[in-house]
Copies of this chain bind each other. A is one copy, B any other.
């Protein structure tokens, strides 16, 4: 396959920025001056790939942009670096900068690929880990190097990350998103779920979860009982929104000592980040909201620059 003949970039200079999650593969074809040539994606997440299948999955997207005789840098963050991923990039322990140390080089069959995988971060007390979010944090810090405060990163495993002087100081993970998915699709509550979103039910669930977080397991069954007994049909999307509110309310109660005294930014996908932002604002906490994929790309660009600096320095030695 020949490289597409596009205006405005030099195929020889192309590098690849990759956010490789458990479920999805996101890839940006970039120029050396950080312009986006192409934004691509597939469902070839880490969860469905054996180690030898990562390189073909990458080539399936990137092939048209690679030039023979060139070694294109490929900078990857996320679960591709997990123990069960492509090649393990061992965790960096906090407190530390979110990105810069411990990149894991991967030898590829295709000589056009020069792959480096970013490590995740770990914490010993209490035990915690992240993979992928550290790159979004690096992207955020590249825009706001002086930020000190808290970053909330909603997802299947929501991260709450304390930043100070450019370092990740501490973080906490909540299983809220995964719990919501399991309960909504696999538990007895699935019979009570419906499509759509009913904001008043979300806010009622949020208040209940926040005010009585210890009652989660009993509040959950009440969702089912209400569907069986209530005289009037619940609003479209009401019980799903209520479940979401209950769970996010409990999470916010668990972390209230943290977020109530911090400068707070929410980074994530549009919908989920907006849901957390509305929840926090409803509880009296103003927040700023930033796009997760934009921050991931910014972080990958920063890692790419560091890598280039190191290579230049290495070549000059």
Contacts and interface: CB of A to CB of B under 8 A. Distances in A.
A131 to B, nearest CB: 10
B251 A217 contact: yes
Contact of A250 (B83, B175, B178, B217): B217
A187 B175 contact: yes
Interface in A52-87: 83
Interface stretch (A7-15, A208-216, A282-290, A299-307): A208-216
A114 interface: no
A222 B179 contact: no
A288 B214 CA distance: 26
A218 B188 contact: no
A247 interface: yes
Contacts of A189: 175
Number of copies: 2
A33 interface: no
Contacts of A129: 224-225, 228-229
A162 interface: no
A291 B253 CA distance: 38
Contacts of A24: none
Contact of A174 (B213, B217, B254): B217
Interface residues of A, number: 45
Question: In terms of DSSP, what is the predominant structure of the interface of chain A?
Answer: helix
A31 interface: no
Nearest to A179: B217
A225 B122 CA distance: 8
Interface in A166-208: 172-176, 178-179, 182-183, 186-189
A144 interface: no
10 contacts: A122-B229, A126-B225, A127-B222, A127-B228, A128-B221, A157-B188, A175-B217, A178-B187, A182-B187, A213-B216
Given A187-B178, A188-B178, A255-B218, A127 B225 contact: yes
Interface in A110-126: 122-124, 126
A175 B221 contact: yes
A224 B84 CA distance: 14
Contacts of A215: 254
Interface string A226-259: 1011100000000000000001001101110000
Contact of A186 (B122, B186, B228): B186
A96 interface: no
A220 interface: yes
Contact of A217 (B188, B229, B247): B247
Contacts of A228: 83, 122, 127, 129
Contacts of A222: 126-128, 173
A156 B186 CA distance: 13
